[in-house]
Structure 1
Amino acid sequence: MSETPVTEMSFEAAMAELEKVVGQLERGDVPLDDSIKLYERGALLKKHCEGKLKDAEEKVAAITLDGEGNPTGTKPLDVD
């Protein structure tokens, strides 16, 4: 399992690790304490991926198109 902080991971890296975590949990051959740690890491990874997807969706939604379907710019996003 990676020790990279979840908040520093790209969407792709977090998704790949989440898939590994799920695979380990599904096999059922991990001791209980390790399963709990894996589940906690998986929950963090899932939340991180959802946040990255939401950000991407907002960016795509902010793109405006002209009459021919070409992007004309973006609307400013509220960044907290």
Structure 2
Amino acid sequence: MSDTPISEMSFEAAMKELETVVGQLERGDVELEASIKLYERGAELKKHCETKLKEAEEKVAAITLDGEGNPAALKPVEGL
């Protein structure tokens, strides 16, 4: 488990750690207290990944295409 604050993680780093957390929980070889901490960390990582994906989707949706199908301009997205 990384010591990096989740808010500072890239999407890829958070997904990689989330996969590790899920793997540890699925194996069931972690003590109860550690399992609870892993579960909490996993929930935070999942939320962070969902937020990052939403931000990316909003950025992609803000791209407008010109008549030839090429990106013409970026429209500002509220809240970003």
Q: Same fold (TM over 0.5)?
A: yes
TM-score (norm 2): 0.97
- What SS does structure 2 have at the residue aligned with 1:49? helix
Match of 1:67 in 2: 67
Query: Which consecutive unaligned segments of at least 5 residues does structure 2 have?
Result: none
Match of 1:26 in 2: 26
Matches of 1:61 and 1:79, distance apart in 2: 14
RMSD, aligned CA:
0.8
Partner AA of 2:52 in structure 1: K
TM-score (norm 1): 0.97
Q: Which runs of 4 or more aligned residues in structure 1 lie more than 2 Å from their structure 2 counterparts after TM superposition? A: none
Partner AA of 1:36 in structure 2: I
- What SS does structure 2 have at the residue aligned with 1:69? coil
- What SS does structure 1 have at the residue aligned with 2:67? coil
Alignment length, in residue pairs? 80
Partner AA of 2:23 in structure 1: G
Query: Which consecutive unaligned segments of at least 5 residues does structure 1 have?
Result: none
